[in-house]
């Protein structure tokens, strides 16, 4: 094969738009640590380097112990004690030195071996106590590794302009840093509603997943790569003609987007005058101006867990108050601000800063055997209640500055709602006693994103102040198909599935019965194929990435409510996802967006 000829690769379309540029392999962390066979004369010096890393790790832990004695959660003192003991244990001292001498390998490679060995054991052991001990060993080893090999992870904030970023996988902490310098993402794994994908769409970065990125290494030379995020196509070394065609297409798409942006101030309403509210989903307070410029009626979802990424720890109460207050003031009293409690876990993994208390407390989040079914969101917050209390106190303190609502993620049944309400009542009393003003009433809503809460929607609609349907997760859990990382099952992940439609009908009916507002904040709310269907089913409040608001308005303004209802009625008759998809494609004229 002439390795400079044009090659077309087909993958999963994740984020629309066209990117044209040079490929850039995105280096990951621990995988890139080199294994070096040492010169026998260098071994003692390497052991000395290892001892120094051990000493520095002990000093870290001692400092943290001091800190946590004053204001850390009580359990952490015990964890830190265990870590200090481990750092003095022969397993970490003489045992590791022996391994370096015997293998002749560099210390970081040896520590990495230990980590992967224990990771394996962690997966095979079911006993909670032993799992905790293994996690401690992994955390301690990572701390030592951090001193041996300070990992300079490549940062997407500083890639050359128009880079076509190639990676095995992307996690939200990577994509959240990406700027417009990134021309496109191409990954081997990933799914359409993974959080990395959500961020790519929110930033307008084209993205194609399920491409064998190893292929790129086989080319002698790559003069350009084209990524067509709408079609799921990646073209390597395009011919002159192909390049020209895509340059024209890209220009056209940009013009289209600008035209639609100009219409962002128009009302969200159907041809026959039915009002629809379109809110924005945000990952950070800095996007508020952008959301308002795009015609947002308020903020329907703040993914507060994104506050952890830049800090590599949980934000403090005061930091949270400052952020929530700033957002509320910017929105004013008329526009709601729905603050979702930290939805950590699942594919929102966190590696904490080894210098933070959270590192010793959790090590990392989302590294469970089955993170999507694990200790995620409100389950995590109820398990580590000091985090829930801190966040609720911060929201209460900010509550007098705007129309703030609280949203609980991953609700399973009414117990979580009761728990949050009772903590809120207690914390409000405490704050008032301290002389702090808090709003008289804060509305508390439940996310419907697991089957149990969908089936209990009547009870939840009765008890909660509002509901918010998270279709990204609801689809994953109802259809038992990973939203994130499995190219073998991604075709099962179908938001336009007959079962999802029926559940939505049920949830909407419950909200209407108890006259409670209902938002739809999953990615389906910005899918032009699904918007008319959602409208017809009865959704009147949509919450989408700010960038998608003009598109959603544009689609809604083309429909009559009666036609949308008729479409929904017909769609509800289907029992096969494929047939339903075909029906929708035929019925909804291609909007060429
Ligand atoms: C959802 O699940 O649809 C949702 C909006 O939450 P997230 O995407 O943050 O999990
Ligand atoms: Mg969710």
- pLDDT tens-digit series, residues 87-142: 998 888 999 999 999 999 999 899 888 888 877 777 777 776 777 777 778 888 88
Same domain, 195 and 56: no
Same domain, 398 and 541: yes
- Assigned domain for 203 exists: yes
User: Which residue ranges have their beta carbon within 6 Å of ligand 1?
Assistant: 198, 301, 303, 343, 449, 470-473, 521-522
> How many domains in the chain?
3
Last residue in a domain, options 148, 176, 191: 148
Catalytic residue among 210, 401, 457, 521: 521
- CATH for 118: 1.10.274.10
Last residue in a domain, options 148, 167, 183: 148
Given the CA of residue 193, which atom of ligand 1 is nearest to it?
8
Last residue in a domain, options 148, 166, 201: 148
Same domain, 319 and 237: no
Same domain, 47 and 193: no
Q: Among 473, 476, 484, name the best residue to mutate to test ligand 1's pocket (greatest count of ligand atoms within 8 A of Cβ).
A: 473
What is the pTM (predicted TM-score) of this model?
0.80
b (16+ CB within 10 A) / e for 513-544 = eeebbbbbbbbbbbbbbbbbbbbbbbbbbbbb
- Assigned domain for 171 exists: yes
> What pLDDT score was predicted for residue 32?
61
Mean pLDDT over the full length of the chain:
89
Of the pLDDT bands very low, low, confident and very high (cuts 50, 70, 90), residue 588 is: confident
Given the CA of residue 346, which atom of ligand 1 is nearest to it?
10
Q: What is the pLDDT of residues 207-224, one digit of tens each?
A: 999 999 878 877 778 889
- CATH for 432: 3.20.20.60
Identify the weakest region by mean pLDDT among 26-30, 40-44, 166-170, 262-266.
Answer: 26-30
Apex 231 CA angle, 228 and 235, nearest 5: 45
Q: Kindly report the backbone phi and psi dihedral angles of residue 405, in degrees, each rounded to the nearest multiple of 5, phi listed first.
A: -120, 155
Q: Which helix (H) or strand (E) holds 241?
A: helix 240-262
Given the CA of residue 303, which atom of ligand 1 is nearest to it?
9
Same domain, 159 and 144: no
| Ligand 2 center from residue 372 Cα (angstroms) | 10
Same domain, 387 and 507: yes
> What pLDDT score was predicted for residue 593?
43
- Assigned domain for 143 exists: yes
Average pLDDT over residues 468-479: 96
Same domain, 175 and 312: no
Sign of the CA dihedral running 437, 441, 447, 453: positive
Same domain, 134 and 165: no
- Specify the pairing of strand 12-15 against strand 207-209: antiparallel
Q: What share of the chain is helix, strand, coil (3-state, %, to 5)?
A: 55, 15, 30
b (16+ CB within 10 A) / e for 493-505 = bbbbbbebbebbe
- The answer to whether the beta carbons of residues 151 and 172 sit under 8 Å apart is no
Ligand lying closest to the C-alpha of residue 411: 2
Catalytic residue among 147, 195, 294, 497: 195
- Assigned domain for 573 exists: no
- Assigned domain for 325 exists: yes
Same domain, 110 and 14: no
Same domain, 77 and 174: no
Same domain, 326 and 370: yes
Q: What is the pLDDT of residues 517-539, one digit of tens each?
A: 999 999 999 999 999 999 999 99
Same domain, 375 and 280: yes
Q: What is the pLDDT of residues 320-374, one digit of tens each?
A: 999 999 999 999 999 999 999 999 998 888 888 777 788 777 777 877 778 899 8
- Assigned domain for 364 exists: yes
- Assigned domain for 563 exists: no
Q: What does DSSP assign to residue 402?
A: S
Cα–Cα distance, 312 to 244 (Å, whole number): 43
b (16+ CB within 10 A) / e for 156-166 = beebeebbbbb
- Assigned domain for 473 exists: yes
By residue range, what is the domain housing residue 109? 40-148
Those residues whose C-beta lies under 8 Å from the C-beta of residue 65, and which sit 6 or more positions away, are 77, 80, 81, 84
């Amino acid at each position: 094969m002439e390795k400079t000829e044009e090659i077309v690769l087909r993958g999963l379309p994740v984020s629309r738009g066209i990117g044209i540029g040079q490929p850039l392999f995105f280096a990951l962390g621990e995988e890139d640590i080199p294994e070096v066979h040492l010169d026998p004369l260098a071994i003692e010096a390497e052991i000395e380097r290892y001892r120094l890393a051990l000493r520095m790790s002990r000093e870290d832990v001692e400092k943290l112990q001091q800190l946590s004695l004053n204001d850390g959660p009580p359990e952490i003192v015990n964890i830190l004690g265990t870590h200090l003991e481990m750092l003095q244990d022969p397993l970490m001292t003489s045992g590791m030195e022996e391994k370096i001498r015997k293998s002749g390998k560099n210390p970081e490679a040896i520590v990495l071996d230990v980590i992967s060995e224990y990771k394996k054991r962690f997966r095979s052991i079911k006993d909670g106590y032993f799992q905790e001990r293994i996690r401690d060993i992994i955390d301690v080893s990572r701390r030592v590794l951090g001193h041996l090999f300070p990992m300079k992870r490549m940062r997407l904030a500083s890639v050359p302009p128009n880079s076509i970023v190639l990676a095995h996988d992307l996690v939200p902490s990577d994509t959240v840093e990406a700027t417009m310098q990134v021309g496109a993402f191409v990954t081997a794994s990933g799914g359409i509603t993974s959080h990395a994908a959500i961020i790519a769409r929110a930033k307008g970065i084209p993205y194609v997943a399920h491409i064998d990125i190893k292929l790129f290494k086989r080319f002698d030379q790559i003069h350009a790569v084209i990524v067509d995020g709408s079609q799921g196509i990646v073209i390597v070394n395009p011919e002159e003609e192909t390049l020209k065609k895509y340059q024209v297409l890209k220009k056209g798409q940009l013009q289209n987007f600008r035209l639609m942006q100009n219409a962002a101030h128009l009302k969200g309403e159907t041809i026959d005058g039915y009002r629809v509210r379109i809110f924005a989903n945000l990952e950070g307070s800095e996007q508020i101006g952008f959301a308002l410029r795009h015609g947002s009626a308020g903020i329907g979802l703040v993914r507060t867990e994104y506050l952890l990424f830049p800090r590599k720890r949980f934000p403090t109460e005061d930091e949270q108050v400052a952020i929530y207050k700033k957002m509320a003031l910017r929105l004013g009293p008329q526009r709601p601000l729905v603050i979702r409690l930290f939805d950590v876990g699942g594919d929102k993994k966190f590696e904490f800063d080894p210098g933070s208390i959270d590192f010793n407390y959790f090590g990392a989040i989302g590294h469970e055997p089955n993170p999507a079914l694990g200790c995620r969101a409100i389950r995590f917050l109820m398990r580590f209640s000091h985090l829930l209390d801190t966040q609720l106190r911060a929201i209460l303190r900010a509550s007098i500055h705007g129309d703030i609502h609280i949203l609980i993620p991953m609700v399973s049944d009414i117990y979580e709602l009761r728990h949050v309400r009772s903590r809120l009542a207690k914390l409000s009393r405490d704050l008032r006693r301290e002389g702090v003003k808090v709003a008289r009433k804060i509305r508390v809503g439940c996310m419907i994103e697991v089957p149990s809460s969908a089936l209990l929607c009547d009870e939840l609609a009765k008890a909660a102040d509002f509901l918010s349907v998270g279709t990204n997760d609801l689809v994953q859990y109802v259809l038992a198909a990973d939203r994130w990382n499995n190219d073998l099952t991604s075709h099962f992940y179908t938001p336009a599935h007959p079962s999802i439609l029926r559940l939505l009908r049920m949830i909407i009916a419950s909200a209407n019965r108890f006259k409670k507002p209902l938002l739809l904040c999953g990615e389906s709310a910005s899918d032009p194929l699904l918007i008319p269907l959602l409208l017809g089913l009865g959704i009147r409040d949509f919450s989408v990435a700010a960038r998608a608001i003009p598109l959603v308005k544009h689609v809604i303004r083309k429909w009559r409510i009666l036609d949308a209802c008729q479409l929904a009625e017909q769609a509800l008759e289907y029992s096969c996802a494929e047939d339903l998809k075909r029906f929708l494609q035929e019925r909804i004229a291609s909007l060429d967006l």
